[in-house]
Copies of this chain bind each other. A is one copy, B any other.
Amino acid sequence: MKVRRSERLIDMTHYLLEHPHELIPLTFFSKRYESAKSSISEDLAIAKKIFKERGTGILDTIPGAAGGVVFVPVIEKEEAREYINALAKRLSEQDRLLPGGYIYLTDLLGQPQLLRQVGRIIASKYINEEVDAVMTVATKGVPIAQAVSYYLNAPFVIVRRDSKITEGPTVSVNYASGSSERIEKMELSKRSLARGSRVLVVDDFMKGGGTINGMQGLIDEFDAELVGVSVFAEANFKGKRAVTDYNSLLYVKDVDTQTKTIKVVPGNYFEN
């Protein structure tokens, strides 16, 4: 049974949103709705316009026999800026201050709406890059990696500090943890990353950058390639960072354990 335009648009929107960065041939929709390709093309033109107007994303049309459409989720700069400003305010809340000047983030990194936005914001930076895998380190980076992975439609891999029998053979590297000045070990399951993969590294928090540097080392061991580094928040670090090229959504400018104040501002996301 032929499906009406209004009905096609609803289901098509759903399908496109759940299959980001995937080439979908027009014939797929044509069959799904038993409708002519010309009608499908018109539907997609409407969707493209609305996605653009509302800042949902880009709908790329690829012409030709092997063509189709690709939905690329993005976020408008203004929307991202407002969201990050609001986040900076939340992170500055006094009761987030933990002993040692650490900041409590765990509640935020378990909220689905926040993770959706953070995933969309980080993914927007890499829409013109080919990303084969998103890499992070257990445990607190995982929600960020998964959120980004949803929007880039690339799998994520989890580096661990402790080996588990359920990982199979692993590759390990040693790295210098910048903040504690200790040598630590991290490892990645050998079959979780293919040689030559293009890897985006994400994490929740960066101080000296030692952990991220360790992941760079692992990427080298897999003959893979680093596409970029994005962190949810970076600390004000007095010293030489192991990583210089990165994006941060938030910047913890100052933590005063005496007056119990935290000052968090937007990170370098909008500068790069």
Docked-complex contact B139 and A158, CB < 8 angstroms? yes
Whether A173 sits at the interface, judged by CB under 8 Å, is no
Cβ B17 vs Cβ A14 within 8 A? yes
- Assess the B46–A112 pair: CB atoms within 8 A: no
The answer to whether the Cβ of A150 comes within 8 Å of any Cβ in the partner chain is yes
With contacts A138-B138, A138-B139, A142-B143 known, is A165 near B99, CB below 8 A? yes
Cβ of A235 to closest chain B Cβ, rounded Å: 12
Quick one: closest B residue to A134, CB to CB? B110
Q: Does A154 lie at the interface of the complex (its beta carbon under 8 Å from any beta carbon of B)?
A: yes
B110–A166 touching, CB < 8 Å: no
- How many residues of chain A have a CB within 8 Å of chain B? 57
Is A115 among interface residues, defined by CB-CB distance under 8 A? yes
Chain B residues near A107: list those with CB within 8 A.
155, 191-192
Q: Which of chain B's residues have a CB closer than 8 A to the CB of A106?
A: 157-158, 166-168, 189, 191-192
**A residues in contact (CB < 8 Å) with B:** 5-7, 9-11, 13-14, 17-19, 46-47, 49-51, 54, 56, 98-100, 102-107, 110-113, 115-116, 138-140, 142-143, 146-147, 149-150, 153-158, 160, 165-168, 189, 191-192, 205
Complex A-B: 26 CB contacts under 8 Å: A6-B6, A6-B9, A7-B49, A10-B13, A10-B47, A10-B51, A13-B13, A13-B14, A14-B54, A14-B56, A19-B113, A98-B166, A98-B168, A103-B166, A104-B191, A106-B167, A106-B192, A107-B155, A107-B192, A110-B156, A112-B153, A138-B138, A139-B139, A140-B166, A143-B146, A166-B205
